[in-house]
Structure 1
């Protein structure tokens, strides 16, 4: 096993990490003025160690990162990004590139081993996805060539392991969600939970280091599948043909059904507190209102600041949004006073077409970590499942808008006509998805007390999502600002309908 001396630790902290960390895709602090790096804990894992490294900054809170460390021979071939430092006799590497370290991770989960540390233990837990399969005790492994915020390994082509790089003083929400759905529900459209490794310390919260799931061989994600649907649809647009294959409706309806089944799996009356359904209490209502109003304040300021940079059609949409501030505020404030008997549960939290993989005509839901910019505590807050639904509906809106407005085939068509065509396609997909989603629950269901509550909550979360998207597009893709603005304007029109007492409202708040 590696034994780091005080001199070696100081060398790594001051001479190696300031450069190495900033070359790593998983290090989130590149843009922040960095103060330093400090090894807080050294956790032994076989012949390697896991370093718990604190990154400190001149402004803001520090962050914790996991860096597995192994010492190997100079002759061993290691990807450049995996080499931490070379000495005259050996090389220090990210241990995920060491087969011995990967073997130790697998055997620990397989045997549910507890590895002692100075102030606790590393506890490995086996899940149903490994226990029920014909899992071998010894298995080959490799690092997957994905460059993301975590590291990925594949074991025997059967099990996928995600090693979390940025750490939090709480159990990772993804492990909780995937474990719960695998162990306590009938929902099978996820990569089944196979196990995890947590760092347990006396009197302190457990820290999740990694999770293993059954590997799947998906054909593509649903964003790409929807793009294929739209390619077929788009070819008829220049000649005035509006045609959608029936198989598209079948696939969208199936996704709605699977989404409903996922939420049914998470609806667990009598479950442990972390997953038991809750009411819309005053504290939660205030939380939702404050989050939306803060978001609105920031987006209005950003929009005013960048208004002159927008093209004329986008300026018209922005003006409708700005003029509707009082209407929006009144609608948002109803969150505090409107009677709500629907329930809230743990949800996916970052649900969109890219989080759903297609597999043999069906769907697999992945990535249950929650909103990337939210804290771990915020990711575990229970919401109406309609928040996930709103995310998927917005994703369909993005898919058709990006395809029709950005494709060479439609460049000669006026933006007004493209707007009409895209709206028709989007609303058909939205209604198909929503009908199948609610049908999966049966009626009535405790999660959705009434159609009126569904209307209100769905519009609230659609507004929140579109307003959130607006900030990203203004900052990073100005040519796409019209997409979230169109989504906001649609919600404004639906709010106006809700204010008209003579209008009969259907499931989605549409006039009928």
Structure 2
């Protein structure tokens, strides 16, 4: 490996968006390098790198926005973002750092949209804008913090640029679906995107998506957990009206996607194949998390019930990774974000049609998470647990009612399907928490344990037939 590649091999595992945590990096290779901004020998440069990270025989692509400056010219506020000192493109040694933190470079990055320049041999990096859209440069980008699998920069009150870190060949679903929903009041309007031709692939790959910024909006997860906190502190708290409105909004977005993009039905044989895939995920998770294995037989029963569903199941393009952290609440109503699906899954798989009830299941799981989040790390308190369960029950029910009222499939009439999707999502959560946030593992495990215990209707069952619990 080159000196820069060696530095990146140490830096990558520390990044929130790196999906291969816990697995040793065997090799880092810079596949492509594009100079987006060059300010001369004494100024900052901005390079877009496509790198290959090899781990256990598998290789994953990532995008790195790499800033570089002469060693003594790095501003103090960027010192903590430094990756190291090395020669860049055969020149003199320079400090290389994460350019997403550099106001000067992020401002210049947005300016590239105003000219729609291309970079590299035969224009292999292209800045695109939607027809009729004019981009106005408005200063530096403010880096959004938090647990994100990508990197987002907010420009004033005008734009947000989301840079996709894990790269898969082809158009990112976030671009596709936002384009299909353009003009909807329930999404941020797309303005443009950055694309590149990756080595060995004919179709362009989406590097970043530029959208209008929705000001004065609050994250759905923040709203929900603050509401739970108020309740657990003994005060009055009701989120059900917001949950119902979110359900209606979700149904309307699903309807818009069904009108704009292809639809189909999932045949009984295809449903059986989908159930087999759920079983495989359960087996993998049970092998890695032994606490899950004792509940596997009951989960398998839910999957078997799903496999026996004999009526065609409508399928279409869906959000794919739907939860409270993917919605925001401005004054006008709920707005949905991040339609890319699960970033660790290849784009082709994320583009497949699926039941909109999978999105419903994801949001129901998120209400359980919001209820259980504040109980993590605390001693068991029956009263607090009961209050959290009650909160989750009310808001899950409200969301399902709103979804049906908004024209979506009534969850109460598709309990077998929804139950299987909820279990499948919870199994995924078990693996995620075990690998990334072990202290949160109790949240999905308690959900599965309670659901698998066979609690009957009237004693706390969900709309999907699984008990409403904090996690």
TM-score normalized with structure 2 length: 0.80
- What is the alpha-carbon distance in structure 2 between the residues aligned to residue 12 and residue 406 of structure 1? 41
Contact 1:151–1:164 (CA<8 Å) still a contact in 2? yes
Query: Which of 410, 423, 440 is 2:406 aligned to?
Result: 440
Deviation at 1:407, TM superposition (A): 6.1
Q: Equivalent residue for 1:339?
A: 311
SS at match of 1:34: coil
Aligned to 2:333: 362
* Segment drifting more, 157-166 vs 228-237: 228-237
Q: Deviations over 1:80-105 (max 9, x none)?
A: 21454267775444444566654553
Shift of 1:376: 2.4
SS at match of 2:184: coil
Is 1:20–1:84's contact at 8 Å kept on the other side of the alignment? Answer: no
Q: Deviations over 1:143-196 (max 9, x none)?
A: 4163644333233441111222332212222222222212xxx42222221210
**Aligned counterpart in structure 2 of residue 12 of structure 1, from 4, 16, 19:** 4
2:279 is matched with which residue?
Answer: 293
Q: How does 1:67-106 map to 2 (within 5 A)?
A: 67-73=64-70, 74-77=72-75, 79-80=78-79, 81-82=81-82, 84-85=84-85, 91-96=95-100, 101-106=105-110
Structure-2 residue corresponding to 1:109? 113
Structure 1 or 2: more helix by fraction:
1
SS at match of 2:56: coil
- Equivalent position to 2:195, from 195, 198, 207: 198
Give the distance between the partners of 1:106 and 1:479, measured in 2 at CA: 38
- Shift of the 249–329 alpha-carbon distance from structure 1 to 2, 3 Å rule, reads closer
Q: For the Cα contact (< 8 Å) 2:63–2:165, is it kept in 1?
A: yes
Question: Take 1:299 and 1:23, find their aligned partners in 2: how far apart are those partners?
Answer: 24
- The answer for the alignment partner of 2:428 in structure 1 is 468
Q: Distance in 1 between matches of 2:126 and 2:414?
A: 42
What are the residue-to-residue correspondences of 1:86-485 with 2, within 5 Å? 91-96=95-100, 101-111=105-115, 113-118=116-121, 120-127=123-130, 131=133, 135-136=135-136, 138-144=137-143, 146=145, 148-182=148-182, 186-200=183-197, 204-236=202-234, 245=238, 248-268=239-259, 271=260, 275-281=261-267, 284-301=270-287, 305-306=290-291, 321-322=295-296, 324=298, 327-335=301-309, 338-340=310-312, 342-360=313-331, 362-403=333-374, 413=381, 415=382, 420-441=386-407, 448=409, 454-473=414-433, 476-477=437-438, 481=442, 483-485=444-446
Q: What's the CA shift for 1:384? A: 1.0
Taking the aligned partners of 2:271 and 2:164, their CA distance within structure 1 comes to 32
Distance in 2 separating the partners of 1:36 and 1:479: 31
CA deviations on 1:479-505 (whole Å, 9 max, x unpaired) are 7536544456447748x88xxxxxxxx
**What is the alpha-carbon distance in structure 1 between the residues aligned to residue 109 and residue 118 of structure 2?**
11
1:64 — aligned with what? 61
Contact 1:396–1:429 (Cα < 8 Å) also in 2: yes
TM-score for the superposition, normalised by structure 1: 0.74
Q: 1:58 to 1:257 in 2, by over 3 A?
A: closer
* Structure 2: runs of 5+ lacking an equivalent: 39-44, 467-471
Q: Residue by residue, what CA displacement relative to the aligned partner does 1:211-262 show, whole Å, maximum 9, x if unpaired?
A: 111123345322221223223333449xxxxx654xx322111111111122
Shift of 1:406: 6.1
Paired position in structure 2 for 1:312:
none
Partner-residue secondary structure (3-state), 2:401: helix
CA distance in 1, matches of 2:465, 2:180: 33
Unaligned stretches of 5+ in structure 1?
1-8, 238-242, 308-317, 442-446, 498-505
Would you say the 8 A contact 1:356–1:364 is kept in 2? yes
Q: Shift of the alpha carbon at 1:374?
A: 2.5
